Amino acid sequence: MTQPTPASTLAHGSPAKSAVAERLAEIVGARHVLSRPSELLVYNSDGLPGYRRQPRLAVFPGTRDETIAVVRLLAGEGLPFVPRGAGTGLSGGALADDIVVIGLHRLKKIIALDVENRRATVEPGVVNLRLNKHVAPYGLLYAPDPSSEAACTIGGNVAENAGGPHCLKYGVTLNHVLAMTVLLPSGDVVELGSRIGERDGYDLRGAFIGSEGCFGLALDITVKLTPRPQTVRTLLADFMSVDAAAHATSAIIASGIVPAALEFMDGPTIRVVEDSIYAAGYPRDAEAILLIELDGLEAGVSADLEAVRRICLDGGARNVKVARDDAERLKLWQGRKKAFGAMGRLAPHLIVQDAVIPRTRLPEILETIHRISEKYGVVVCNVFHAGDGNLHPNIAYSADDPAESERVHKAMTEIMRACIDAGGSITGEHGVGLDKMGYMESIFSESSLNAMCELRGVFDPERRSNPGKVVPIHACKEWNAVSGDRLRMDASLSEPRPLEAEPAHPSAQ
């Protein structure tokens, strides 16, 4: 293996960029390495356009072996990198600030499908929906269904521990991943978890899932598949007040019925969706709708359907409509799943939060959000996984208007504060990334953050994989109290190490 290049050579400018780019091109082919700023623009944000970081290089390995070779090359050079799937994340997570992006979307083989034992092994770049289409003919499904399912990858889902509407009943990515082959930032390859299902020892699988690219990257992932339910019924309940819909949600959860999904959309969201090409036939004059899905054995679903309908009507629903067939069901879902996209109609930029609150606090928190939006004169669109208490307040705005931006950010901070005060979490499924790192100290103590730093240090002692995300560096005790060498490393991570001589610093060398 290549000896690490002394940091000083890189920091003060060797022809390293071209050298590294050329060597990466030797591994993956020249057309799979991007280094021109104009080509790299596409990779400067994820699904949250409010954060932009320009990568220095992007490399797209096409095979497992190429991926290993790329990471080993970067390890040899001591260079930091950011793994990236489809770039649909909503946390500013897969951003490479002047460092290397490793795009994994070319690793898209479905390696194995075991119908009898209901499991599949896939490469990280396999798109979530593609896996589902692949297994559907066998009467199976892969349960986690983020709204970005048509584009997001299983590797990205693992990194973020992605959720989705149906996680209410079926659980999140963590509950469906059995094992992974992981490429550590050092270039070492390890097997985590068990393809069989259970094993002894530390749950390294569980530790890796949701590590947001900070522990390395998955080369293959073995997931559990779920039998398609015998019956699926979808209801749309509409309400003339947000409060009534919130109370109905709490009542359904308290009843003990576990719907497959229980989604909430408020008036502003309904109208944005209905104005868009995703119009689903939602009642435009409603102040809130609940989209509720029940599934399972026919006999049980019918009884639960009746109970849920009753709870909604008793709770003040104006109307409860049950989709008559699959076409109608899918149309109702289309409006929900494309709601983020539809908000593009309102303003060029969108900010979205992902806080989770205890489900009994829903009515009160929605009222608080309303109050905050009025205080700052912003329009909040609420479209979220109500059954889990997982809020998604969205504000569409123009980032080019500084005064508006400031009001929007103040409103979002206040909303987050209210959710934290209610005993909630800062993120239910989008991840911390850059976006919520500032809130980590509000919910975790110094020693808890330090334990997370230590866990990260186990997988990535040099902290080269997705540096500067999730846990604020200053929260990591050991990382601060270190020798000069380590400090130089920290500095290079917060201000990423240039890969080439900066022309502005002619004194280099």
Partner 1 sequence: MSTEAVVSAIKDSAQARTPLRIAGRSTWLDAGRPVRADKTLSLRDDSGVVGYVPGDLTLTVRAGTPLSEIERVTHEHGQWLPLDPYGSADGTIGATLATASAGPLASSFGLPRDLLLGLEFVNGRGDVVRGGGKVVKNVAGFDLSRLLTGAWGTLGVITEVTLRLYAVPSVDRTFAVRLDGGEREMASLIRAIITSPLSPYAVLLLNASAAHAARLGERPVCLIRFGGNDAVVRAQVNALSQIARIQELETDVWMRIRRLDGDAHTTIRVVSLPQRFLAASARILGENVPGIHTCIDPRRGVLRIIVGAADDEDGDGLNAVIGGSQDLQIEGADASEVIFERLPADVWREVSPSVVSDELSQRIKRAFDPHHILNPGILGD
**Choice from 68, 151, 257, 508 touching partner 1 (CB under 8 A):** 257
- Cα Dmax for the chain: 78
- Least distance CB 348 / partner 1 (angstroms): 28
Is residue 163 part of the contact set for partner 1 (CB under 8 A)?
A: yes
Burial class (CB in 10 A: 0-12, 13-18, 19+), 331: middle
Pairing of strands 393-397, 226-227: unpaired
Indicate whether 456 belongs to the interface with partner 1 (CB under 8 A): yes
- DSSP helix/strand/coil, 384: strand
What letter would DSSP give residue 438? G
- Residues 59 and 24: beta-carbon distance below 8 Å: yes
Using CB atoms within 10 Å of the CB of residue 503, give its burial: 0 to 12 exposed, 13 to 18 middle, 19+ buried. exposed
- Could you tell me how many residues of this chain bind partner 1 (CB under 8 A)? 89
What is the identity of the amino acid at 280? A
Q: Which two tokens stand for residue 315?
A: 């709770």
Nearer to partner 1, 10 or 75 (CB): 75
**Listed residue (76, 57, 262) closest to 165, CA to CA:** 262
Residues constituting the chain? 509
Site residues for partner 1, 394-413, by CB under 8 A, read none
For the bound state, the minimum distance from the C-beta of residue 339 to partner 1, rounded and expressed in Å, comes to: 19
Binding-residue pattern over the window 205 to 224 for partner 1, x denoting contact by CB under 8 A? xxx-xxx--xx---------
Q: Which helix (H) or strand (E) holds 160?
A: helix 154-160
In sequence order, the β-bridge partners of residue 141 are 226
Least distance from partner 1 to the Cβ atom of residue 376, Å: 25
User: For residues 24 and 75, what is the distance between their CA atoms, to the nearest angstrom?
Assistant: 12
Q: Within a 10 A sphere around the Cβ of 250, how many other Cβ atoms? A: 19
Q: How far is the CB of 1 from partner 1 (least distance, A)?
A: 17
The H-or-E segment that residue 226 falls in is: strand 226-227
Residue among 63 and 450 whose Cβ is closer to partner 1? 450
Instruction: Candidates 157, 353, 373, 390: give the one binding partner 1 (CB under 8 A).
Output: 390
Q: Which is nearer to partner 1, 22 or 478 (CB)?
A: 478
Distance in Å, CB of 68 to partner 1, minimum: 17
Q: How far is the CB of 421 from partner 1 (least distance, A)?
A: 13
Nearer to partner 1, 29 or 423 (CB): 423
Judged by CB under 8 A, which of 1, 38, 198, 484 binds partner 1? 198
Burial of 388 (0-12, 13-18, 19+ CB in 10 A): buried
DSSP 319-357: EEEE--SHHHHHHHHHHHHTHHHHGGGT-SEEEE-B-B-
Here the tokens at position 357 are 């609150």
Based on the shown chain and the rule CB under 8 A, indicate whether residue 359 belongs to the binding site for partner 1.
yes
Q: Which of 232, 455, 473, 508 binds partner 1 (CB under 8 A)?
A: 455
Using the minimum distance from each CB to partner 1, give the nearer residue, 218 or 449.
Answer: 449
Please report whether residue 202 would count as binding partner 1 according to CB under 8 A.
yes
Choice between 258 and 313, CB closer to partner 1: 258
**Token output for 280:** 């689903």
- The residue among 256 and 506 lying less far from partner 1, judged by its C-beta, is 256
- What are the CA-CA distances from residue 136 to residues 130, 142, 212 (Å)? 10, 9, 29
Closest separation in Å from C-beta 184 to partner 1: 8
Taking residue 156's Cβ as centre, other Cβ atoms within 10 Å add up to: 33
Near partner 1 by CB under 8 A: residue from 428, 468, 496, 498: 428
Q: Which parts of 469-508 interact with partner 1 (CB under 8 A)? A: 470-471
Cβ closer to partner 1: 14 or 121? 121
Q: Are 95 and 44 in contact (CB under 8 A)?
A: yes
Scan residues 264-293 and list those touching partner 1 (CB under 8 A). Answer: none
CB of 119 to partner 1, least distance (A): 8
Site string for partner 1, 318-347 (x = CB under 8 A): ------------------------------
Nearer to partner 1, 193 or 267 (CB): 193
98-127: contacts with partner 1 (CB under 8 A)? 114, 116-118
Position among 77, 388, 404, 435 found at the interface with partner 1 (CB under 8 A): 388
